[in-house]
Amino acid sequence: MTGLNDLKAKILADPEVKAEYDRLAPEFEIAETLIRARQRAGLSQAEVAKRMGAAQ
């Protein structure tokens, strides 16, 4: 079975995919920061959505 890192390396070997992945890096960083903050606060996605008045 292929591991996640192996699969990622295989996919990112395509120059077009790699370029798009790199272009989206700032968005991935923001998402990761928000996820970690939510986890540190001990909140579920549903709880955050409810507090924001939005759907999960």
35 neighbors 48 (Cβ within 8 angstroms): no
Nearest one of 23, 24, 44 to 52, comparing CA atoms: 44
For position 56, what pLDDT does the model report? 82
The token duo for 46 is 């549903």
Instruction: List pLDDT tens digits, range 1-56.
Output: 579 999 999 999 999 999 999 999 999 999 999 999 999 999 999 999 999 999 88
pLDDT of residue 1: 55
Is pTM beyond 0.85 here? no
Helix locations, 1-56, DSSP H = 4-12, 15-23, 25-40, 45-52
Query: For residue 2, what pLDDT is reported?
Result: 74
d(CA 43, CA 28): 20
pLDDT of residue 48: 94
